[in-house]
């Protein structure tokens, strides 16, 4: 846990969109997935996930519906919308440009 | 889409909240499940899940923020809370709403009247293009005169090139009855292009056109929508029917659109007929060709693209040709020169024209100020009440602050309450205003000439009401809200008493509020006093005649088609019959009655005073029968009354009033002396011998200075006129004689139209402006006094309540009740003194604008100011004494136990 990184603002949104790009998922699943993929190096306070989800839903980048979970409990599933997909692409491109630029600076300096 | 979602969230808030809880619960349960699987004890698993998740309520709140409804939500919350608080205290709420309703209602009513009289545009297409044409004499400083003769109007119509359309109209009254008691309708003479240029469309049938307004026309009539509904029930069969106007038949060709009442604000027309039809009414010397008969108003629609300067130039260029073609041939050389010098000018006419504006614009502005002050006083009262309430809610507010409510949030909540109060006040106020305005219109109406105004509430009036509602809520709400939220938490929790007694002795904001109220009320009382005294002076003025118990019977022998040479004997016969009626003590007749609004004057010349200016040579004339003076109780001071010897062929004689005698026969006995009347070409006529002198009396208005009046015998009237107005002094109420008079006149000739008035009503009508100001300023002055009294009483009761402990201790230590009483009354007196001093100062400065509206009274009338101060002081001391006496009844034990 010692080497975990605090999330930059906006990064959480990107991670959520990316996660949902694979398949619709409920909040708990998203939080698990982010931890797994980042090999526990990204520390997300679980609670802070939900305001982000509701914000993205208001932006209409993701949509939600109630469905049955693995053990047949009712859960709220989120999925990426078309405009969300476009947003993800744009954000990804932006992120790549930014990290490339930062990497460049770090190497040359 | 997003807005829709937000609104949905707003209305589904409870369901969404539940879903949010479910969602988070699911997450939490999953975490617990995972922890259990990892081998934690159930308790440890729950604890770990909570820790990993973070503050649940905080997350929920952030999610709600994400919905974007927090603002709306708290607003709803505030409103709901405000409703609850107001409902909890119905006494306060009702008093506050009623106070505001009176204040806002009064303001709305007066503004509605101002809007209707002065601001509202005519209900026609593009009213801003309309211009009124008026005549200016560059040689004199007078106002532009908007009246035209028909020859002048025809010249303007034929020659003008600055208007895309030009039209003329004149108001008149037409009698629907065929003889007997008159049944007047408001008539409008209109030129052929009147409706076309105003771009009005008929409700039914057709409107008058240029082809209806040709010399020699047979007459067609257009009815107003209201008249059609009232008299024909809106039946289509009205079109094509015949309507009799002063015994002349007219065919109804169409109905004007609803909402169009004419171009004159304050009047509504019932029937419009073409100007050419005047020939049918007038006979051979019709006003169509009379060059000194001013009866038309002219307006036009400015040509598109023409500037105001181009319009003025166009009219100026036009003027010489117009005036020379319509020159009155019989005028003196000087008069003709003046006539030809005149030029035409244009004035904006989007709001129509109105004689009401000249009479009432200043009084209305003044009343707007008065009701503004009333509203301020009302606000001060409510601010006082709010302060008292805020103090009693201090514990509650402190508690909420201690629990984390921000100050801004609390202020917002308190202001929401105020806004709710003033909105309710505004709603009730609009109701008050609705009948208040109707009352106001009655107030400015004359018995003989009722005012009609379109009083529908338009956007401007509603906007005004909304604006003052918001403004007042800030005015009375902000200070209490700021004070209430500035509390020391610890003190407040310990108990409000402790704070208050810490600064009980100070002259604090509540005192200032009351002092302001006292000052403002005093200003209103002084104004009310001035107007009441002014009106009283006018109403009790010696008019030179006795207005009571005189019935005026106006007839028109021309309408009854009685030949000219039989008219005199007909009048004699009627006068004789009327005098013989039971209940009539004396009767007379004349060409006109005093203060009726009409007049007849001329220049006179006497050889004993030759140096008079032209203006001072003017005398006012009347022609009367011998019974006239006795009937009006006018006192003959010297000489003799007219008698049967003063016939048509006898030497010309005259009875003059004191002013005429003094001016034209200075220091001489006028009896037996003569003067001459100048004719229209200003040549002196034959000498007329003075046979009597009568006491000065009013002629045109009650406000006028005494002016020279000459009474001639009815037998010696020149020209076409006849003394056909009869005056009856009655021993019974004048109205009881109406049917007997009708029968008596009918015996002479059934065709004669008869109109009834009383002299008292005629005199009252001439004081309508003064009466309105006295009535309204008196009403609002009393209202202000009442509000100030309530304010003072409320504030003192509250302050005494706050200082109960202090008084208790004082009394326990041996203070006499009298000294407590003195203590409280001292603050009453200091508040009163501060208010009175400020009020007198403001009154002295402000009442100067009233001077013009006062009669026989200085705006700084000491008696009025002293009376107002006295009334206010007595009322304030009584309002202050009641709570002060309460203070002396404090039981020391009870007061101390409270602590």
Instruction: Give pLDDT tens digits for B716-753.
Output: 988 778 888 999 999 999 989 999 999 999 999 988 99
Model confidence band, residue B163 (pLDDT cutoffs 50, 70, 90): very high
Note the pLDDT of residue B208: 94
Choose the final residue of a domain: B68, B92, B107: B68
From chain B, pick out residues whose CB is under 8 angstroms from the CB of A48: 54, 59, 62
Q: Write the CB contacts of A21 (distance below 8 Å, at least 6 apart in sequence).
A: A80, A85, A88
In this structure, chain B runs to a length of 899
In this predicted structure, the answer to whether residue A1 has a pLDDT above a threshold of 60 is: no
Q: How far is CA B102 from CA B83, B371, B475, B764, B787, in A?
A: 21, 10, 16, 29, 11
B643 and B535 belong to one structural domain: no
Phi, psi of B618 (to 5 degrees): -80, 130
From chain A, pick out residues whose CB is under 8 angstroms from the CB of B31: 28, 46
B198 and B296 belong to one structural domain: yes
How many domains would you assign to chain B? 5
Model confidence band, residue B817 (pLDDT cutoffs 50, 70, 90): confident
Choose the final residue of a domain: B728, B751, B774: B751
Question: Residue B572 has which token pair?
Answer: 């004699």
By the CB < 8 Å criterion, does B54 face chain A? yes
Note the pLDDT of residue B439: 87
By the CB < 8 Å criterion, does B31 face chain A? yes
How many domains would you assign to chain A? 1
Cα–Cα dist B96/B101, whole Å: 8
B64 and B78 belong to one structural domain: no
CA B836 to chain CA centroid, nearest Å: 30
In this predicted structure, the answer to whether residue B499 has a pLDDT above a threshold of 50 is: no
Cα–Cα dist B545/B238, whole Å: 48
B570 and B656 belong to one structural domain: yes
Nearest one of B170, B171, B165, B169 to B125, comparing CA atoms: B165
CB contact under 8 A, A27 and B27: yes
Mutate to test the interface with A, among B27, B48, B54, B57 (most CBs of A within 10 A): B27
B261 and B225 belong to one structural domain: yes
Note the pLDDT of residue B502: 42
Place of tokens 């002050």: B373
CA B51 to chain CA centroid, nearest Å: 73
By the CB < 8 Å criterion, does B58 face chain A? yes
In this predicted structure, the answer to whether residue B3 has a pLDDT above a threshold of 90 is: no
CB contact under 8 A, B31 and A75: no
B189 and B263 belong to one structural domain: yes
Note the pLDDT of residue B628: 95
Nearest to A28 among B1, B26, B55 (CB): B26
Kindly state whether residue B12 falls inside one of the protein's structural domains: yes
Residue of B481 and B103 predicted with greater confidence: B103
Q: How far is CA B385 from CA B143, B474, B479, B525, B629, in A?
A: 52, 14, 12, 24, 63
What is the widest separation between alpha-carbon atoms in chain B?
Answer: 140
B230 and B177 belong to one structural domain: yes
Kindly state whether residue A51 falls inside one of the protein's structural domains: yes
Kindly state whether residue B85 falls inside one of the protein's structural domains: yes
From chain A, pick out residues whose CB is under 8 angstroms from the CB of B54: 45-48
* Residue ranges making up the domain that contains B600: 557-751
Q: What is the DSSP letter of B89?
A: -
B583 and B660 belong to one structural domain: yes
Chain B residue closest in CA terms to A51: B63
By the CB < 8 Å criterion, does B48 face chain A? no
B639-668 per-position pLDDT tens digit? 999 998 999 899 999 999 999 999 999 999
Mutate to test the interface with B, among A4, A9, A47 (most CBs of B within 10 A): A47
> Percent of chain B beyond pLDDT 90?
42
Model confidence band, residue B672 (pLDDT cutoffs 50, 70, 90): very high
Note the pLDDT of residue A4: 46
CB contact under 8 A, A50 and B68: no
Distance (Å) from the alpha carbon of A43 to chain B's nearest alpha carbon: 10
Model confidence band, residue B393 (pLDDT cutoffs 50, 70, 90): confident
B581 and B487 belong to one structural domain: no
ipTM: 0.86
Cα–Cα dist B515/B510, whole Å: 9
In this predicted structure, the answer to whether residue B49 has a pLDDT above a threshold of 60 is: yes
By the CB < 8 Å criterion, does B731 face chain A? no
CB contact under 8 A, A76 and B1: no
Cα–Cα dist B487/B485, whole Å: 6
Model confidence band, residue B442 (pLDDT cutoffs 50, 70, 90): confident
Note the pLDDT of residue B300: 94
In this predicted structure, the answer to whether residue A34 has a pLDDT above a threshold of 50 is: yes
Note the pLDDT of residue B801: 76
Kindly state whether residue B143 falls inside one of the protein's structural domains: yes
CB contact under 8 A, A54 and B52: no
| 8 A C-beta contact, residue B534 and residue B850 | no
CATH number for the domain spanning A87: value is: 1.10.10.10
Chain A interface residues facing chain B, Cβ-Cβ under 8 Å? 26-28, 31, 45-48, 50-51, 54-55, 57-58, 60, 66, 69, 73-76
Choose the final residue of a domain: B472, B502, B532: B502
Note the pLDDT of residue B80: 86
Chain B residue closest in CA terms to A71: B30
In this predicted structure, the answer to whether residue B135 has a pLDDT above a threshold of 70 is: yes
Residue of B848 and A92 predicted with greater confidence: A92
Kindly state whether residue B367 falls inside one of the protein's structural domains: yes
Q: Tell me the pLDDT of chain B averaged across its residues.
A: 87
Kindly state whether residue B546 falls inside one of the protein's structural domains: no
CB contact under 8 A, B56 and A46: no
Residue of B388 and B30 predicted with greater confidence: B30
CB contact under 8 A, B22 and A27: no
Note the pLDDT of residue B496: 47
B28 and B133 belong to one structural domain: no
Model confidence band, residue B2 (pLDDT cutoffs 50, 70, 90): low
Phi, psi of B244 (to 5 degrees): -95, 120
H-assigned helices in B68-190? 70-88, 90-114, 150-159
For chains A and B, CB pairs below 8 A equal 64
R_g of chain B, CA atoms, integer Å: 38
- Residue B218, classed as helix, strand or coil, is coil
Distance (Å) from the alpha carbon of B36 to chain A's nearest alpha carbon: 16
* Residue ranges making up the domain that contains A28: 11-108
Chain A residue closest in CA terms to B31: A28
Chain A residue closest in CA terms to B30: A28
From chain B, pick out residues whose CB is under 8 angstroms from the CB of A78: none
Distance (Å) from the alpha carbon of A109 to chain B's nearest alpha carbon: 39
B636 and B774 belong to one structural domain: no
In this predicted structure, the answer to whether residue B405 has a pLDDT above a threshold of 80 is: no
- Residue B689, classed as helix, strand or coil, is strand
Kindly state whether residue B653 falls inside one of the protein's structural domains: yes
CB contact under 8 A, B59 and A28: no
CB contact under 8 A, B62 and A74: no
From chain B, pick out residues whose CB is under 8 angstroms from the CB of A74: 22, 26
Model confidence band, residue B494 (pLDDT cutoffs 50, 70, 90): low
B563 and B424 belong to one structural domain: no
For residues B300-324, give the mean pLDDT.
Answer: 92
For residues B152-165, give the mean pLDDT.
Answer: 93
Note the pLDDT of residue B579: 94
By the CB < 8 Å criterion, does B65 face chain A? yes
Model confidence band, residue B8 (pLDDT cutoffs 50, 70, 90): low
Q: Which of B170-184, B775-789, B827-841, B878-892 has the lowest mean pLDDT?
A: B878-892
Q: Which of B229-233, B289-293, B310-314, B492-496 has the lowest mean pLDDT?
A: B492-496
B555-602 per-position pLDDT tens digit? 988 888 888 889 999 999 999 999 999 999 999 999 989 988 788 888
In this predicted structure, the answer to whether residue B248 has a pLDDT above a threshold of 80 is: yes
In this predicted structure, the answer to whether residue B435 has a pLDDT above a threshold of 80 is: yes
Mutate to test the interface with B, among A46, A55, A61 (most CBs of B within 10 A): A46
B638's enclosing H/E stretch is: strand B636-639
A85-89, B5-9, B441-445: range with highest mean pLDDT: A85-89
> Percent of chain B beyond pLDDT 70?
95
In this predicted structure, the answer to whether residue B777 has a pLDDT above a threshold of 70 is: yes
For residues B158-177, give the mean pLDDT.
Answer: 92
Note the pLDDT of residue B71: 61
H-assigned helices in A10-81? 11-22, 27-37, 49-58
For residues A57-79, give the mean pLDDT.
Answer: 85
């Amino acid at each position: 846990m010692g080497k975990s990184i605090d999330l930059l603002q906006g990064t959480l949104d990107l991670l959520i969109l990316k996660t949902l790009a694979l398949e619709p998922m409920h909040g708990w699943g998203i939080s698990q997935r982010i931890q797994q993929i980042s090999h526990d190096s990204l520390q997300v306070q679980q609670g802070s996930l939900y305001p982000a989800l509701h914000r993205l839903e208001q932006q209409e980048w993701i949509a939600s519906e109630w469905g049955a979970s693995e053990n047949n409990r009712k859960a709220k599933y989120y999925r990426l919308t078309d405009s969300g997909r476009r947003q993800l692409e744009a954000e990804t491109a932006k992120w790549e440009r930014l990290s490339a630029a930062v990497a460049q600076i770090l190497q040359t300096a | 889409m997003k807005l829709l979602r937000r609104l949905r969230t707003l209305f589904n808030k409870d369901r969404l909240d539940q879903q949010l809880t479910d969602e988070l619960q699911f997450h939490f349960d999953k975490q617990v499940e995972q922890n259990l699987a990892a081998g934690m004890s159930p308790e440890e698993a729950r604890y770990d899940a909570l820790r990993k998740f973070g503050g649940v309520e905080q997350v929920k709140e952030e999610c709600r923020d994400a919905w974007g409804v927090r603002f709306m939500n708290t607003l709803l919350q505030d409103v709901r809370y405000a409703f609850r608080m107001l409902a909890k205290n119905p006494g306060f709420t009702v008093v506050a709403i009623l106070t505001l309703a009176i204040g806002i209602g009064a303001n709305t009513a007066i503004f509605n009247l101002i809007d209707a009289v002065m601001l509202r545009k005519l209900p026609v297409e593009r009213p801003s293009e309309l211009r009124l044409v008026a005549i200016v004499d560059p040689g004199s400083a007078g106002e532009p005169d908007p009246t035209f003769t028909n020859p002048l109007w025809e010249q303007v119509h034929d020659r003008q090139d600055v208007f895309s359309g030009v039209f003329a109209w004149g108001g008149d009254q037409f009698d629907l009855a065929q003889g007997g008691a008159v049944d007047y309708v408001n008539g409008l003479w209109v030129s052929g292009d009147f409706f076309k240029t105003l771009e009005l469309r008929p409700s039914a049938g057709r409107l008058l056109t240029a082809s209806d307004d040709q010399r020699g026309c047979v007459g067609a009539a257009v009815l107003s929508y209201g008249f059609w509904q009232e008299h024909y029930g809106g039946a289509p069969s009205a079109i094509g029917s015949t309507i009799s106007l002063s015994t002349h038949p007219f065919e109804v060709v169409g109905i004007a659109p609803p909402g169009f009442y004419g171009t004159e604000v304050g009047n509504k027309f019932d029937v419009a007929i073409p100007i050419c039809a005047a020939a049918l009414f007038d006979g051979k010397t019709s006003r169509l060709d009379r060059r000194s008969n001013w009866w038309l108003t002219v307006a036009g629609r400015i040509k598109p693209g023409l500037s105001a300067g181009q319009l003025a130039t166009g009219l100026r260029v036009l003027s010489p040709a117009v005036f020379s073609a319509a020159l009155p041939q019989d005028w003196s050389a000087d008069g003709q020169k003046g006539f030809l010098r005149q030029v035409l000018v244009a004035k904006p006419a989007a709001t129509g024209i109105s004689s009401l504006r000249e009479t009432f614009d200043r009084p209305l502005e003044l009343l707007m100020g008065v009701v503004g002050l009333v509203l301020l006083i009302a606000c001060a009262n409510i601010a006082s009440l709010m302060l008292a309430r805020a103090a009693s809610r201090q514990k509650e507010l402190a508690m909420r602050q201690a629990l984390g409510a921000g100050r801004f949030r609390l202020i917002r909540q308190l202001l929401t309450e105020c806004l709710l109060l003033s909105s309710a006040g505004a709603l009730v106020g609009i109701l008050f205003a609705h009948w208040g305005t109707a009352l106001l219109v009655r107030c400015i109406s004359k018995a003989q000439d009722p005012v009609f105004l379109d009083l529908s509430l338009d956007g401007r009036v509603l906007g005004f009401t909304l604006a003052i509602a918001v403004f007042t809520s800030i005015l009375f709400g902000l200070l209490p809200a700021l004070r209430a939220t500035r509390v020391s938490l610890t003190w407040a929790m310990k108990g409000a008493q402790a704070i208050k007694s810490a600064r009980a002795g100070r002259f604090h904001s509540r005192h200032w509020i009351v002092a302001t109220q006292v000052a403002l009320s005093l200003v209103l009382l002084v104004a009310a006093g001035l107007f009441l005294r002014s009106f009283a002076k006018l109403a009790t003025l010696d008019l030179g005649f006795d207005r009571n118990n005189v019935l005026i019977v106006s007839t028109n022998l021309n309408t009854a088609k009685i030949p000219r040479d039989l008219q005199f004997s007909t009048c004699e016969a009627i006068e004789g019959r009327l005098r013989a009626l039971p209940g009539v003590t004396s009767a007379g007749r004349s060409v006109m009655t005093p203060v009726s609004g009409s007049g007849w004057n001329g220049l006179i010349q006497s050889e004993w005073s030759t140096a008079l200016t032209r203006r001072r040579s003017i005398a006012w004339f009347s022609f009367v029968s011998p019974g006239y003076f006795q009937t009006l109780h006018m006192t003959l001071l010297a000489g003799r009354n007219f008698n049967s010897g003063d016939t048509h062929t006898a030497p010309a004689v005259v009875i003059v009033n004191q002013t005429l005698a003094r001016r034209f026969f200075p220091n001489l006995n006028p009896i037996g002396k003569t003067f001459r009347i100048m004719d229209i070409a200003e040549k002196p006529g034959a000498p007329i011998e003075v046979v009597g002198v009568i006491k000065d009396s009013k002629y045109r208005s009650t406000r006028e200075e005494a002016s020279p009046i000459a009474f001639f015998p009815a037998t010696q009237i020149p020209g076409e006129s006849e003394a056909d107005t009869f005056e009856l002094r009655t021993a019974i109420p004048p109205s009881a004689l109406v049917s007997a008079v009708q029968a008596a006149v009918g015996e002479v000739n059934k065709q004669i139209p008869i109109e009834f008035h009383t002299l008292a009503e005629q005199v009252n009508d001439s004081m309508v402006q003064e009466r309105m100001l006295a009535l309204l300023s008196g009403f609002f002055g009393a209202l202000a006094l009442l509000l100030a009294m309530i304010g003072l009483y409320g504030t003192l009761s509250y302050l005494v309540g706050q200082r109960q402990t202090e008084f208790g201790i004082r009394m326990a230590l041996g203070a006499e009740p009298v000294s407590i009483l003195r203590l409280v009354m001292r603050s009453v007196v200091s508040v009163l003194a501060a208010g009175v001093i400020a009020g007198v100062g403001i009154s002295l400065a402000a009442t100067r604008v009233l001077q013009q509206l006062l009669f026989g009274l200085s705006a700084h009338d000491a008696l009025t100011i002293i009376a107002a101060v006295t009334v206010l002081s007595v009322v304030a001391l009584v309002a202050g004494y009641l709570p002060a006496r309460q203070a002396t009844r404090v039981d020391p034990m009870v007061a101390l136990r409270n602590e």
